[in-house]
Amino acid sequence: MDIGAAQGCVPVELARSHPHLSGGGFDLPAVAPIFSRYVASHGMSDRLHFISGDFLVDDLPRADVLVMGMILHDWDLPTKRMLIGKAHPALEKGGSLIIYEFFIDDARRTHLPGLLMSLNMLIETKGGFDFTGADCIAWTQAAGFAESRLVPLIGPHSAVIATK
């Protein structure tokens, strides 16, 4: 389940790559028709569904895997921690939270995309900022996740995979 799914690119790509998967997206009610059209245009309506909600207010949907991609950097530290904390009870035992972002290197000196994105978030949001993989791992552990690790992805992204 993609949290803050927008049009549904992540669920569609995952479902295309892994035909055995089903899932969907969770986002504000106004996004539902956009998500549904995009999913239908890729012939995935039988496997992907939309759940309306506000992740700042509502419980997250129950799932085996939750994805938060480029979501946490929009928010201040208490909100980041709250969102990670909401993921833990929504996951089945052994389930995983996947957080992908432009993680800043631990020394905060070399990952230019992450540093620039953090500056952008500081300008565009009330309290948003990018962070290191170590920061994110610590937040997932504080939320009760049993295991968390940082995985480099293609390009400037990396993912923290936290397992319940």
Question: What are 134-155's pLDDT values in tens digits?
Answer: 999 999 999 999 999 999 998 8
Q: What pLDDT, on the 0 to 100 scale, is given for residue 13?
A: 97
Place of tokens 């899932």: 23
Q: CA-CA distance, 114 to 119, in Å (whole number)? A: 9
Phi, psi for 45 (deg, rounded to 5): -60, -25
| Confidence label for 112 from pLDDT (cuts 50, 70 and 90) | confident
Contact yes or no for 137/148 (Cβ under 8 A): yes
pLDDT classification of 94: cutoffs 50, 70, 90 = very high
Phi, psi of 93 (to 5 degrees): -60, 130
Note the residue count of the chain: 164
Q: What is the mean pLDDT of residues 102-125?
A: 82
Spatial separation of the C-alpha atoms in residues 163 and 45, rounded to whole Å: 28
3-state helix, strand, coil in the chain (%, to 5): 40, 25, 35
Q: What does the block give as tokens for 130?
A: 């990018």
Instruction: Write down the mean pLDDT value for the chain.
Output: 95
pLDDT above 90 (res 120): no
Q: Higher-confidence residue: 44 or 114? A: 44
Sorted by where each begins, the domain ranges of the chain are 1-55
Q: Do residues 74 and 121 touch, judged by C-beta distance below 8 A? A: yes
Indicate the pairing of strand 147-152 with strand 63-69: unpaired
**pLDDT value of position 105:** 84
Catalytic residues: 73
DSSP state, residue 42? T
Give CA–CA dist 97/43, Å, rounded: 26
Contact (Cβ atoms closer than 8 angstroms) between residue 91 and residue 64? yes
